[in-house]
Amino acid sequence: MCANKQDVVVQGRYDSKIIQFRCGDSDPQGDRVICDSCSNDPKERARIRRHQANSDADNAWLVSAGWGEM
């Protein structure tokens, strides 16, 4: 990931606010924040997909071993 910041709208109970997150961090819902330049780069998108597939495989193994998701 890069050092770019991405604006994310965070919904509060009665209002919402915009918070900046670094590219590659997780937002409050647990989704990965990706800036426009990284989402438009085919190599970076492939790297993100590979990383997510590895994380999913690790979590599937942990759940099958009875340890739960990390």
Average pLDDT over residues 54-68: 91
Output the average pLDDT for the chain. 91
Average pLDDT over residues 11-23: 92
For 26-38, write each residue's pLDDT tens digit: 988 888 999 999 9
The number of folded domains in the chain is 1
> Residue 69 falls within a domain, yes or no?
no
Query: Rounded to an integer, what is the distance from CA 70 to the centroid of its chain?
Result: 15
Task: Kindly indicate the confidence band of residue 1, based on its pLDDT and cuts at 50, 70 and 90.
Answer: low
Retrieve residue 1's tokens: 């990931």
> Residue 70 falls within a domain, yes or no?
no
> Residue 26 falls within a domain, yes or no?
yes
Please state, in angstroms and rounded to a whole number, the distance separating the CA atoms of residues 37 and 55. 23
The parent domain of residue 40 ranges over 5-64
Question: What pLDDT is stored for residue 6 in this prediction?
Answer: 92
pLDDT of 51 above 70: yes
> Residue 43 falls within a domain, yes or no?
yes
